[in-house]
Amino acid sequence: MSTARTAMLLAAMTGLFLAVGWLAGGKGGMMIAFIMALGMNAFAYWNSDKMVLSMYGATQVDAYSAPGLVAIVERLAARAGMPCPKVFIIESDQPNAFATGRDPQHASVAATTGLLDRLSPEEVEGVMAHELAHVKNRDTLIMTVTATIAGAIGMIANMFAFSSMFGGHRDEDGNGSPLGAVGGVVMMILAPLAASLVQMAISRTREYSADAEGARICGNPLWLASALENLERQAHQAPNWQAERNPATAHLFIVNPLSGQGADNLFSTHPAMDNRVGALRAMAAEMGMTWGGRMGERPAAGGSVIPPAGNPWGGGGRQGPWG
């Protein structure tokens, strides 16, 4: 269902692009804007993983520096039948995580120190499974395609607004655009807005898909459901200043890292948490699952998973959950 909805939204985005492009400059103007947007997004596709990891000051860890976390990711990747991605940790009190990379062979997953401090091992496993699902589903490719089309729409709209001020595009008969100068300004505002709405809708759809696939990878939908409830409750108690300075990266995270954007509406990059948790609990009921699991009983909400000694994340005799 989510795949069909994504396809429909991509078709809507493409239709919007074709309509705006034709009104703005005919076939020629449409192709110029598309090539420019494609070039910019191709650069982002090949380099966005390095850029976003650097932006958040992420540190790569291994089996020595963070044995527990790396072991979880390796086990989940094996269950998903995919290469193990690089594992990073971000120094941030806000519990959150994201995946990046152009394909499963060039992927990375990142978790914040706040997530490792505040969630149980089962919940961390659920979160990491969700991020691996994004990689397995090639959501980074899907979002790059939508960003390409949205960027092209914005460029075409701006070109059309500018040309409208100087007589607008004229066809072979010398006729100008029926929208005129005022229409050009209106298009400059409304076309990118409409593209952004579709882009956000696609992002929300991919979150549902990653929740379902992540639940299958970790083996218990309730682990991820519990993690999402804790993340929703705690994420906005600790601001993520890097995300606040770079809101365009908000869609990458498992929960919205921005303050004051918890509502599920057209302008949200993430679905309403009640809907996500409800879908996971329904999935667990169909599978006959209860919390349980190989790691023990469900922890108290918001409790630290770091024991006095032998913590599950660190290693090498160093203190802290990340080594």
Annotated catalytic residues are: 131
CA dist 97 and 75 (Å) reads 18
3-state helix, strand, coil in the chain (%, to 5): 60, 5, 30
The C-alpha angle with vertex 219 and arms to 213 and 221, in degrees rounded to 5, equals 65
The residues near 8 (Cβ < 8 Å, ≥ 6 apart) are none
Tell me the three state secondary structure of residue 151. helix
- Determine contact, residues 197/267, Cβ cutoff 8 Å: yes
The residues near 227 (Cβ < 8 Å, ≥ 6 apart) are 119, 123, 124, 126, 127
- Determine contact, residues 205/6, Cβ cutoff 8 Å: yes
What separation in angstroms does the CA of 114 have from each of 95, 154, 199, 319? 4, 37, 29, 15
The C-alpha angle with vertex 38 and arms to 83 and 166, in degrees rounded to 5, equals 160
DSSP per-residue letters across 11-68: HHHHHHHHHHHHHHHHHHHHHHHHHHHHHHHHHHHHHHHHHHHHHTT-EEE-TTTSHH
Dihedral of alpha carbons 214, 133, 88, 57, sign:
negative
